[in-house]
Amino acid sequence: MRKKSLTRYALAAAAAAVVPATVAAAAPAPADSLPLAPVTVLTDKPGTAHGDLFVSPNAVAGKYAGGVEILSQDGRETVWSHALPAGQSAADFRKQTYHGKPVLTWWEGTGLGGAAQGVDVVYNDHYQKIAEVRAGNGYSADGHEFLITPRNTALILAYTVKTADLRSIGGAADQKVIDGVVQEVDIRTGKVLFEWNSADHVPYAQSEQPLPASADTPWDWFHVNAVKLDTGGNLLVDARNTWTAYEVSHRTGSILWQVGGKAGSFALKAAPGQVLNSKDTIFAWQHDPEPLGGGLYSFFDNESAGIANTGSGAVSELPYSRVATVRINPRTRTATLVASEAQPSTLVASSQGNAQPLGDGHTVVGWGSLPYVSEFGRRGELLFNAQFPAGVNSYRAYRFDWR
């Protein structure tokens, strides 16, 4: 049986970025509220990693609510769940650390990407909301990333629409474009400490996204979908629609190197037994780069953004999505695909997704727009696989120890 969900507390005033630590007691969910979507376990072999599963299943009108959920290690029991009101969804639900204590964090709102309107929330281990984080400088927080840093700041994403002259690349002189924004926000005060806009650093010509037929249709040329802390305090920023991950100086905002895409800093190679895609690249339309240390990085490699977005009429650059592990060698200027795990049913996720590296060498994968969650062992063997009902997915999925 699901534990009772918390009621949603009143939002803070528009200018405030933080909710006071004093919160009301949890109350039962309304009797007529919709449940979260159930999970069916397909594969459960010995040796899965310790910890509970963290998912944020989306809503299906009239059938399932959107919200966040902690499932037991085997995925068969609900530890805790929190359903959102009709019309709202959640994303990037995980355990993090804030001021040395374990917390639950997620984004909630409407839309995901250019039309997103939402807020990032922080709950303590008593399932009480202790903070909200909003984007600053007139932006609204997007749900692709909410990462708390060791400095107790938040790395978040946002999108903004403006007009650009794209005649040099065959576009209109007054084309509406969607730029990606990265912000670091002080959680306690709401102050924006760092801001990075894709249009200030990346040429529009790097996009793999076809231009729209109308100048009034916003062109999602960049589509920022992740920001991570990398070695040396730099930021790793990922853009789906340029097929590129960018190493960004946290001090100046300048791009130090970039892997993938039309202007990559590294020659792309595949180790024996590994394959590049049809465009001789390691990944396409990717999400969630994860620094693994020692020059290794993992990516959730979608390989598709849908037929309309590939520009070639092909469904995908590879016939399946995968997790790609890449070794970057700055000395030889090479990026080598050294390992990969394919989607267990060889399906293609045309959006979303993540690959969480675990300390024991395992990897938990949320298959984005596909209704699956998986865990692979250190040798790439499938240990766990579960499925949501048709029409339901979880943008990301994680495994954490939670008490």
44 in a structural domain: no
Please say if the pLDDT value at position 15 is more than 90: no
Residue 231 confidence (pLDDT): 87
Instruction: Kindly report which listed range (5-14, 133-142, 260-269) carries the lowest average pLDDT score.
Output: 5-14
Computed over every residue of the chain, the mean pLDDT equals 91
pLDDT band at 32 (very low <50, low <70, confident <90, very high): low
Region 163-181 average pLDDT: 98
Residue 36 confidence (pLDDT): 97
Region 358-385 average pLDDT: 97
Residue 307 confidence (pLDDT): 57
Residue 2 confidence (pLDDT): 42
176 in a structural domain: yes
Q: Distances in Å between the alpha carbon of 1 and those of 39, 71, 237?
A: 13, 11, 40
In total, how many domains does the chain have?
1
pLDDT digits (tens, 9 = 90+) for 349-371: 999 999 999 999 999 999 999 99
The strand order across the sheet containing 363-366 reads: 40-44, 382-387, 372-376, 363-366, 354-357
Residue 316 confidence (pLDDT): 87
Contact between 402 and 95 under an 8 Å Cβ cutoff? The reply is: yes
325 in a structural domain: no
pLDDT digits (tens, 9 = 90+) for 307-334: 545 454 456 899 999 999 999 999 999 9
Region 154-171 average pLDDT: 98
359 in a structural domain: no
58 in a structural domain: no
Region 30-45 average pLDDT: 87
Enclosing H/E stretch for 297: strand 296-301
Region 188-197 average pLDDT: 98
Kindly give, in sequence order, each residue whose CB lies less than 8 Å from that of residue 218, ignoring residues fewer than 6 positions away. 114, 161, 176, 177, 178, 212
pTM over 0.85: yes
Please say if the pLDDT value at position 145 is more than 60: yes
Q: Residue 336: count other Cβ atoms within 10 Å of its Cβ.
A: 19
Contact between 275 and 319 under an 8 Å Cβ cutoff? The reply is: no
110 in a structural domain: yes
- Please tell me the distance from the alpha carbon of residue 191 to that of residue 258, in angstroms, as a whole number: 29
- Containing structural domain, residue 112: 88-224
Pair of tokens at residue 80: 């805790």
Residue 315 confidence (pLDDT): 63
37 in a structural domain: no
- % of the chain with per-residue pLDDT over 70: 90
Please say if the pLDDT value at position 1 is more than 50: no
pLDDT digits (tens, 9 = 90+) for 237-246: 999 999 999 9
pLDDT digits (tens, 9 = 90+) for 44-74: 999 999 999 999 999 999 999 999 999 999 9
Please say if the pLDDT value at position 79 is more than 50: yes
Please say if the pLDDT value at position 122 is more than 60: yes
131 in a structural domain: yes
